[in-house]
Structure 1
């Protein structure tokens, strides 16, 4: 998985609580009612094979029943597959010529791979706009660069699946304020200089300043790099040209600082291991850069504050902004688009069916009442409003058996997005994703510094499927060695040379060509 689903389930920050909900596939046949159809074989008179990733659904799931009644369709079979099995099953079906009518594709690189093999049908942007005008307008307004995720060789293959706003997808830096107080540090550090001063004070108490997921190609030390205006592995704009931040001079500057901190004993040496976060909970590390609202809720068993207080009842956690540095503030966000929805050749030939399928997405996106029912069910039965006079804007909470996430999954509920198209209209998306008003305030305060790739997904650049995995591994190894002192800072230049030789130069050219072809990510007309 490219850490990205249309519904944005099970990944960074507070979304960790949803992990395990995604990674499933639905492959069914359905009949969509339609009064039109160019071929005379309208959607209502033919089957629709649909390959997607909803939650773990029971056979009589509420969301499935609601979809069937609303759109006069029938889902015949639900397969619960792991994420690895999803891709394997998909590829096996294509090899056997079993191409579904509609498919949610695991990233733009996968779209490019199978479009090259003729598995997907070209569907013009004009067709998309005509049949789902409200959804297309939402992309234009919020994430116009998402259109690039459906391109291959200048042709369009479907439409972008989009999820929550970027601010709702960002991770937060969280601090053990009890450890800061013990070290004599007042307040949460806000700048790189304040970080270093706090780290020096913490060291005197036997506590490491910070840790991170050092094995992540994306999130490792992301806020420190962000303070230099770079987010390695993302394609970013520099002086009007697209370049990968991994090879920028600013990245070398950040590595120099990190290596200095590591040498001084400010960074947990186990940060390059598989999961260094338990040391934050244990009070051996003061700052962890991969958290979310759940982590400061003392009653939520999924959160870190709850875990801290199991052994330290007086432990405290507070969030901090990404540190201010010479490049401002910044943190990695995977982007709200990255799972294109495309179509098999047989479906695209039946224009009547195609239009009806597109209208389903458009309806769910634009009908807030329907999207709410698909995401959290019926008021009074599945959830209750905190303030009935304010509706969803006033907050809400699960009730009855739906307090249990397993029960919610069985009925197809996923408040991060509907189980069939991803996030609903952004007018209500964050309200559905975050029931608590306090969590919405946190997102508005700390999530706004999250930055996505210029194309929303780094794998959008043609050729990524061939080169990017090796480049990710190269980056992780080189950065780890520089930070820990195993390699000198000067080896960064060797890394850049290897990067370019192993496909980086080709990808950079392709990235700039794509940027120019799409007018800088502006909406396709």
Structure 2
């Protein structure tokens, strides 16, 4: 498998600049789905069933104001994916809260919950599937999987929202879509017609970085590792040379996965910490996703020879004590929080988590983010992620589709502008009736880029505040906190170059994530390697759970020394015979369509 020769496998390389990123994975295709409906129009195409917003009397009467109040009370029904941990202010609940009251009072939009179900398991998706089967869905549905959204379109239940989107989506809303338009168009449009609103996850979330205790490096007179060989040397020094100076042999090199943690990111799980993706990438191995083999055919990245080589290296590192002992059976995140580990792989935003706890316990902890080059060319081959994880679909029977678009506009305008900030803080964003992740492709990275412009004297703070207020007020808040905490000299980005005294200590997570954690994305040299597809085939629905379990158990045992490297070959043989070969065949067939 030669990843570097795969056409379309990478995003454009970033070097010293931030670009509006676009995932370049193949167009997702779905196998034939059947649905029984009680709708007499079920046999017609979705375009025949779709309501035309331009000819809809209610929609046509509404002025094309993206944030305008509906001329008369507009009732929308929806399915509600409930978060079991959602909190509400006193006297409020999922049916009646500050958001629903604001929508009704200020925008003449009344929300009625057609059904509610937990989003922590399969309950919500089972109810969605039932609606598809019966041919009856609410006015709109959010947090749909790609398969669910396509099934709704196939059943003729989805509205073509092309015209209503163009007419009512605000400038801010459209800018988000445009920031990753090539991908989004490929997912939600058929024959030029738009059938869904995709979520938009920011691209920096998919660039896992190498977090290193810079203060430990400085004490031991070491440089940050730039390749795997140097990483091993640094991890060895952290273990053997008492970098925390407590006189005990209790420091750890690389923190591995926690209890039941993932060994690497895959098609369904990404944007987390304590994995080994960078080490796998050093061997051109990308387990957990679909890549191309030397003949250009789809192959599962976990079964290729390069993955076997990477597993052997990880087993050697674990045996040598360079990786935290007891990984997968102990809370390795505590090694970071308690300042016992000097290295781990994770997302840019981790200062909000364990890294932030590390700083609280030791104000001199100087965690800095780096990229680990995958080869001699200095480029980090980073496993990409799904920027459009969920979808919102508007029913063809919705009489006021513009009201759904307006709610998304309100969300992008800033919920804190429309409800009491104290209540908004309790409710959070996820309980808003039209919530979905909807960020500019490079959204978070723009904060660091503009901060650099300010620190270098290229722009004034007022200019940047105006810029951020125009497209995302949340980023403006991050910028404000960064410049409030930064001390001179402005080019000193170590922990000593910031003031976190008093109340500013509460802003550490925001400041360190946006002001420091994004450096590898903004300044680094990397290329994304994306899965060829996120499709779930028929055989995957039946066999993938068992195949994934086999993979996880085999790889885990190899790394911690409970199984020899030959177990990899046995795994590949079982994987193929127990459904893997059939899945691969189905994936290739879908890509060939």
Query: Is TM > 0.5 for Structure 1 vs Structure 2?
Result: yes
- The equivalent residue for 2:216 is 179
Q: Is the 8 A contact 1:175 1:319 kept in 2?
A: yes
- Paired with 1:66 and 1:318, the residues of 2 have a C-alpha distance of 43
Q: 1:480 to 1:499 in 2, by over 3 A?
A: same
1:253 positional shift = 2.3
| Distance in 2 of aligned mates of 1:147 and 1:461 | 22
- Against the structure 1 CA distance between its residues 451 and 56, is the aligned structure 2 distance closer, same or farther, given a 3 Å change threshold? farther
Which of these residues, 203, 209, 223, is aligned with residue 278 of structure 2?
A: 223
| CA distances 1:357-413 after superposition (whole Å, capped 9, x unpaired) | 2x4565566x5xx444344436xx97xxxxxxxxxxxxxxxxxx64xxxx4354553
Aligned residue among 435, 454, 460 for 2:531: 454
Deviations for 1:429-487, whole angstroms, at most 9, x for unmatched residues? Answer: 766454423544546532465847435x7355565433332232222112112212222
Which of the residues 203, 220, 243 maps onto 1:166? 203
TM-score by length of 2: 0.60
CA RMSD of the aligned region, Å?
4.5
Counterpart Cα distance in 2 of 1:162 and 1:427: 14
For 2:126 and 2:319, the matched residues in 1 are separated by 47
Shift in alpha-carbon separation, 1:160–1:36, aligned structure 2, 3 A: closer
What residue is the counterpart of 1:298 in the other structure?
A: none
Q: Structure 2 matches for 1:233-382, cutoff 5 A?
A: 233-238=288-293, 240-273=296-329, 275-293=331-349, 295=351, 302-325=352-375, 328-342=379-393, 347-348=395-396, 350=397, 353=399, 356-357=400-401, 359-360=402-403, 362=405, 370-377=410-417
Per-residue CA deviation, residues 268-302 of structure 1 (Å, 9 max, x unaligned), is 1222226311112223322121243452xxxxxx5
8 Å CA contact 1:56, 1:80 repeated in 2: no
Tell me the CA shift for residue 52 of structure 1: 4.1
- Is 1:243–1:508's contact at 8 Å kept on the other side of the alignment? yes
Counterpart residue number, 2:162: 129
DSSP 3-state at the match of 1:190: coil
- Alpha-carbon offset, residue 148 of structure 1: 6.6
| Distance in 2 (alpha carbons) for counterparts of 1:147 and 1:265 | 48
Match of 1:50 in 2: 78
Residue 216 (structure 1) shift: 1.4
Q: Distance in 1 between matches of 2:568 and 2:369?
A: 32
Give the whole-Å Cα distance in 1 for the aligned partners of 2:143 and 2:234: 45
Change (3 A) 1:475 1:509: same
Q: In the comparison of the two structures, how many residue pairs are matched? A: 434
SS in 2 for 1:270: coil
In structure 1, the residue matched to 2:577 is 501
Q: CA deviation at 1:76?
A: 3.2
Bigger radius of gyration, 1 or 2? 2
Mark the CA change 1:477 to 1:165 in structure 2 (over 3 Å): closer, same or farther: same
Cα separation, 2, equivalents of 1:106 and 1:310? 39
| Cα distance change of structure 1 residues 467 and 373 upon mapping to structure 2, 3 Å threshold | same
Q: Give how far 1:245 is off.
A: 1.7
Distance 1:466 1:146 in 2: 29
1:173/1:319 contact within 8 Å kept? yes
Distance 2:588 2:404 in 1: 31
* Distance apart, 1:423 and its partner CA: 0.6
Task: Indicate yes or no: 2:437 matched with 1:422.
Answer: yes
Distance 1:111 1:409 in 2: 31
Moved more, 185-194 or 56-65: 56-65
CA contact (8 A) 1:331 1:451 kept: yes
Q: What secondary structure is seen at the aligned counterpart in 2 of 1:163? A: coil
* TM-score (norm: length of structure 1): 0.67
Match status 1:37 vs 2:63: no
* Partner in structure 2 of residue 104 of structure 1: 142
Structure 2 distance, partners of 1:157, 1:478, is 43
The worse-fitting range, judged by mean Cα deviation, of 196-205 and 437-446 is: 437-446
Distance in 1 between residues matched to 2:106 and 2:580, nearest whole Å:
48
- Tell me how far apart the structure 1 counterparts of residues 357 and 175 of structure 2 sit (CA, whole Å): 43
After TM superposition, give the deviation of residue 50 of structure 1 in Å.
1.1
In 2, Cα distance between equivalents of 1:506 and 1:409: 49
Shift of 1:131: 3.8
Counterpart Cα distance in 2 of 1:217 and 1:265:
17
